[in-house]
């Protein structure tokens, strides 16, 4: 897993952990049944308090992304079908987000196409 925490981000640290793990799940880096690092290990790795990581794990379980069991760790839970639809939904929402900002900045779809051409290379 490739987790980095940005202490300066306005996004609370525990939510950064949630996002990073969700991304890992959605990108296929973590699959259904995979064991997540233990709360204490991840806390040590990210130099966070175990409570902060626990909060993230708790939220992930509440959202159905994992199953935490005392004594045997936390495992990823992603019904096969769900992963793909979540992935697509997330991409679309990110893209719409971007489009909205671009449009409110006064750019046209033509401008955006040109931008895309330039950066792609």
Partner DNA sequence: GTGGTCTAGACCACC
Residues 36-75 that bind a second copy (CB under 8 A): 62, 69-70
Concatenated DSSP letters of 27-90: TTSS-TTPBPPPHHHHHHHHT--HHHHHHHHHHHHHTTSEEEETTTEEEE---HHHHHHHHHHH
- 73 belongs to the binding site for DNA (CB under 7 A): yes
Which residue from 9, 63, 66 is spatially nearest to 38, judged by alpha carbons?
Answer: 66
Beta-carbon contacts of residue 111 (< 8 Å; ≥ 6 apart): 102
- 80 belongs to the binding site for a second copy (CB under 8 A): no
Largest CA distance in the chain: 56
- Region of 24-32, 53-61, 81-89, 90-98 interacting with DNA (CB under 7 A): 53-61
CB nearer a second copy, residue 2 or residue 79:
2
Phi, psi torsion values for 78, nearest 5 degrees = -140, 100
- Closest distance between a second copy and the C-beta of residue 41, in Å? 21
Among 29, 32, 40, 99, binds DNA (CB under 7 A): 40
- 89 belongs to the binding site for a second copy (CB under 8 A): no
Write out the residues near a second copy by the rule CB under 8 A.
7, 10-12, 15, 23, 26-28, 62, 69-70, 87, 90-92, 94-99, 101-102, 104-107, 109, 111-112, 115-116, 119-120
């Amino acid at each position: 897993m490739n987790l980095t925490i940005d202490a300066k981000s306005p996004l609370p640290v525990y939510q950064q952990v949630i996002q990073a793990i969700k991304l890992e799940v959605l990108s296929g880096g973590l699959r259904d049944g995979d064991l997540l690092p233990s709360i204490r290990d991840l806390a040590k790795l990210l130099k966070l308090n175990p409570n902060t990581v626990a909060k993230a794990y708790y939220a992930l379980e509440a959202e159905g992304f994992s199953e935490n069991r005392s004594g045997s760790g936390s495992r990823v839970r992603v019904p096969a079908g769900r992963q793909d639809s979540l992935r697509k939904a997330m991409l679309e929402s990110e893209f719409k987000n971007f489009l909205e900002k671009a449009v409110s900045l006064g750019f046209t779809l033509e401008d955006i196409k040109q931008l895309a051409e330039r950066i792609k290379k």
